[in-house]
Amino acid sequence: EAFARPTPRISEACCLVEHEWVDALMDISDGLSGDVGHMAAASGVKVVLEASAVPIADAALVALGAERALEAALHGGEDYELLFVTDQGVVDVDLFVQRFGLDLTRVGRVLEGEGVWLDRGEGDPRPLE
């Protein structure tokens, strides 16, 4: 349903900007890894995605298995959700959830450097292919 009839997150984006809660903001239409890559390049930073935090639909886990479902979640497109960067504790999560009924998911962190990296929790993060 979300793919066939995506919900534009215009009000949500406006709220984030109006409250000055974000340092960078865009929609995810080219897939999480692709759009994080665009954001990292434009900002001159390194983004480390945490594999365990990337949202994966239960149906994808059943149909594809954990590894392929993660790859689909990272590289698939047409998500039409918001991707934003902020400092920890800046966003009033309760207000956001109450107003829009959406959970926020922290999927990574921004560091000095460049590119998109993936942390699988098994040692040092590696560049995301």
pTM (2 decimals)?
0.91
Residue 1 has pLDDT above 90, yes or no: no
Residue 77 has pLDDT above 90, yes or no: no
Residue 122 gets the label, from left (phi > 0), alpha (psi -120 to 50) or beta, of alpha
Integer-rounded Cα radius of gyration of the chain = 15
The HSE-up count of residue 61 (CA atoms within 13 Å, CB side) is: 6
Best CA proximity match to 13, nearest among 74, 102, 76, 78 = 102
What pLDDT band is residue 69 in, cutting at 50, 70 and 90? very high
Percent of residues, the chain, with pLDDT higher than 70:
100
Residue 95: the pLDDT is 94
Q: Which residue has the higher pLDDT, 30 or 86?
A: 86
| Tokens 């929790």 found at | 121
